[in-house]
Amino acid sequence: MSWLFIAIVAYFINAFTAVIDKSLLVRPIPDPLVYTFYIGFLSVFALILPYLSCLGSLFSYGSFVCVGLSWPGLSNLAIDLGAGLIFLASLFLLYSALKKGEASRVAPVIGGLTPVFILLLSYLFLGERLAFWQITAFVFLVAGGGV
């Protein structure tokens, strides 16, 4: 029963976010590029939060020992920055679609296409392979979600 409640709350939050984004793109911030910049700029603070939670240990020990963070290396940093840029590009496309269309039409399309892209990307990058019956079930679930 708890999974049903979580799913309903998640869809409610998703719908609420789409309506708020649409209303922000209509009046206060009419340009999707500017809105994407604001969201990207504010997202940087999510990186700072773990460090802010242990400022006391910084003054006591001289490092952030309570978080356990370390330098990821240049290759991982490049991958992370690339993923961040792809995320910002996808946000820009989402906000452009919300600006031109209705939130009640854009959000279900995005929600319906997400499993398809996850299946394709997991096949390409993770080597995931589904059996025939799993693919059949996936097609039925995605088609049912589209109806």
Do 48 and 66 belong together in one domain? Answer: yes
Do 17 and 85 belong together in one domain? Answer: yes
Do 72 and 114 belong together in one domain? Answer: no
Do 85 and 122 belong together in one domain? Answer: no
Do 97 and 121 belong together in one domain? Answer: no
- Residue 120 CA: distances (Å) to CA of 23, 115, 135: 33, 9, 12
pLDDT along the chain (147 residues), means of 10: 87 91 90 94 80 60 58 84 93 94 89 91 93 94 82
3-class DSSP state for residue 78?
helix
pLDDT for position 11 = 86
Give the domain range for residue 26.
1-101
Side-chain half-sphere exposure of 87, counting CA atoms within 13 A: 12
pLDDT for position 1 = 64
Do 110 and 79 belong together in one domain? Answer: no
Question: Which two structure tokens, joined as six digits, stand for 87?
Answer: 């995320």
Do 12 and 46 belong together in one domain? Answer: yes
Total structural domains in the chain? 2
pLDDT for position 56 = 57
Name residue, tokens 């080597």: 127
Please report the DSSP string for 119-139 in residue order.
HHHIIIII-----HHHHHHHH
Do 94 and 123 belong together in one domain? Answer: no
Do 65 and 92 belong together in one domain? Answer: yes
Amino acid identity at 100: K
